[in-house]
Amino acid sequence: MNLRLCLLVTCFISLGITRAWSQNKEIETNIGNLNAAMISKDKTTLDKLTSDDLSFGHSTAVIQNKSEFLNDVVSGPTIFQKIDISNQTIQVADDIAIVRNTSSITGTNKAGPLDIKIGVLMIWKKQNGTWKLLARQGFKLPQS
């Protein structure tokens, strides 16, 4: 009896670990796709990856809704050439994922060359079986 109970507990733990790993991989993939879509100005992909209730905060304190964000990425003054992320953590609680990372962004904007390193906090929400970006806030990192 104890062996069966141990096997059953092991199966439930394995399923939980596999589910968490799978969710994290899906969120990581979506973040990569979001960054790639920002670089390529792919409005269709950006639309699919973001919630209709999106709140997108920049490190400059500008806050945009979904429409403003999509229009700014596709036809705004900033052209993203590269977005690298590091130090990423993902914490899933039910249908919400909290993501933190450091983003190194290069490109150009109306002021000239863009080369910044910022902290990012993202909230992803599972909607109709798909993880969508609900909120994002960029922030300036402390000087080291």
In 3D space, the residue among 101, 102, 99, 100 whose CA is nearest the CA of residue 124 turns out to be 99
Q: What's the pLDDT tens digit per position in 76-101?
A: 889 999 999 999 999 999 999 999 99
Whether the per-residue pLDDT at 19 is higher than 60: the answer is: no
C-alpha 86/C-alpha 19 separation (Å) is 23
Query: Which tokens is 45 given?
Result: 């992909």
Residue type, 132: K
Distance between CA atoms of residues 119 and 99, nearest Å: 11
- 127 contacts: CB under 8 Å, gap ≥ 6: 51, 95
Average pLDDT over residues 115-123: 97
Give CA separation, 28 vs 34, 50, 67, 112, 124, in Å. 10, 14, 24, 30, 11
pTM: 0.84
Residue 94: what are its φ and ψ, rounded to 5°?
Answer: 60, -115
28 falls in which pLDDT band (50, 70, 90)? very high
